[in-house]
Amino acid sequence: MKIKPLGERIVIKVLESEEKTKSGIVLPDTAKEKPQMGEVLAVGSGKTLDNGQKVPMEVKVGDKILFAKYAGTEVKVDGEEYMVLKESDVLAILE
């Protein structure tokens, strides 16, 4: 089963501390309980501007991203937990 996010939304898999250690990335202590890093699994078709134009998404599938704390909605599909968030809640891409 596939999750296709709408508009400017993306679906991510939140990356746990173990994976962070592997990639050498650690989030500050105060954010330990609520990780801010994820891997993009699916992206929407983009935001629709007031002139009807679609804005292409900046993030793409496979990107490692930092996202704003408290952003997004957790969902569980086929026993797996994902998070749906808006691209505007993505702070940066890690390259």
Q: Which residues bind a copy of itself (CB under 8 A)?
A: 1-7, 9, 11, 23-28, 36, 42, 45, 48-53, 55, 58-59, 66, 68-69, 73-79, 81, 84, 87-88, 90-95
Q: Based on CB atoms, which residue is closest to a copy of itself, 13 or 59?
A: 59
Decide whether 18 or 51 has the Cβ nearer to a copy of itself.
51
Closest separation in Å from C-beta 33 to a copy of itself: 15
- Length in residues, the chain: 95
What is the full DSSP assignment across 7-42? TTEEEEEEPPHHHHHHHT----GGGTTS--EEEEEE
Residue 39 C-beta: closest distance to a copy of itself, Å: 14
Is residue 13 a contact partner of residue 3, using CB atoms and an 8 Å limit?
Answer: no
Q: Least CB distance from residue 1 to a copy of itself, whole Å?
A: 6
Closest CA to 14 of 6, 46, 33: 33
